[in-house]
Amino acid sequence: MTIPTLNLNDGNQIPQLGYGVFKVPPADTERAVSEAFEVGYRHIDTAAIYGNEEGVGAAIAASGLARGDLFVTTKLWNDRHHDEEPRAAIRESLDKLGLDSVDLYLVHWPTPAKDDYVHAWEKMVELREAGLTRSIGVSNHLVPHLERIVAATGVVPAVNQIELHPAYQQREITEWAASNDVKIESWGPLGQGKYDLFGAEPVAAAAEAHGKTPAQAVLRWHLQKGFIVFPKSVRRERLEENLDVFDFELTSDEIAAIDAMDPGDGSGRVSAHPDEVN
């Protein structure tokens, strides 16, 4: 099985499906990531604030996989945007991961109340130029944040990682991204279990039509929308299930039915609003 790759706006490529370790306990991370590698994942998404970069690094070291076969993302936390902290922060992350560079480094949140995300983005550009990361991007950035950092630097993020699932599709951001060649990464792609996504008629019907689980139908929806997705699980059978989404395609009608699940008023959000995380 080959996981498709997408072309980023900086000339690099990214696997479209990966393994996210948000809320994977540090003590479980090495085992979980090692199992993900065994199953076939090659794209790992972590963050400094997750507290499990060392576990990811241990799994990488034990895997025997070539560095060029892996895609590793980590993120700059909110209290490291100022002065030269971004450089110190990525070096700390690299030490924990046991790597010379990551494939993608993200500004985790814009923290607009502190008004330092433009400075953070300027420093991200320097980190890329220094070879500490191959690509740079952002997470949880709204259109005004995106427009401001691009205006300030002339550098467009390679990706924007945002909360995105059928009840909350963030169309303003995805449309801006499409018109500016920014790839969208979906976090919480299954709604974090905070609403009855799998019982929703469009999802259940699509799953039944293709002999797949509701989770597989939703992951397939993300992939066909062109989003990068990394579902999280610590169970091997679920790791395998989440990867088994490349042997079927949803019809245009099935896609449209799932598209219609977003009420359009923002009420489907299950996590924090980016303007409120500082």
Q: Which of helix, strand or coil describes residue 250? A: coil
Active site residue 50: yes
Quote the pLDDT of residue 149. Answer: 98
State how far the Cα of 45 lies from the Cα of 74, in Å rounded to an integer: 6
Reading the chain (278 residues) residue by residue, the pLDDT tens digits are: 789 999 999 999 999 999 999 989 999 999 999 999 999 999 999 999 999 999 999 999 999 999 999 999 999 999 999 999 999 999 999 999 999 999 999 999 999 999 999 999 999 999 999 999 999 999 999 999 999 999 999 999 999 999 999 999 999 999 999 999 999 999 999 999 899 999 999 999 999 999 999 999 999 999 999 999 999 888 999 999 999 999 999 999 999 999 999 999 999 999 999 999 99
Q: Burial code of 225-258, b = ≥16 C-beta within 10 A, e = fewer?
A: bebbbbbbbbeeeebebbbbbeeeebeeebbebb
State how far the Cα of 166 lies from the Cα of 158, in Å rounded to an integer: 23
State how far the Cα of 137 lies from the Cα of 212, in Å rounded to an integer: 33
Distance of CA 214 to the CA centre of its chain: 21
State how far the Cα of 173 lies from the Cα of 143, in Å rounded to an integer: 6
Quote the pLDDT of residue 232. Answer: 83
> For residue 243, what are the contacts with CB-CB under 8 A and spacing of at least 6?
1, 3, 17, 39, 40, 41
Catalytic member of 19, 41, 50, 105? 50
Q: Which residues pair with 183 in a beta bridge?
A: 159
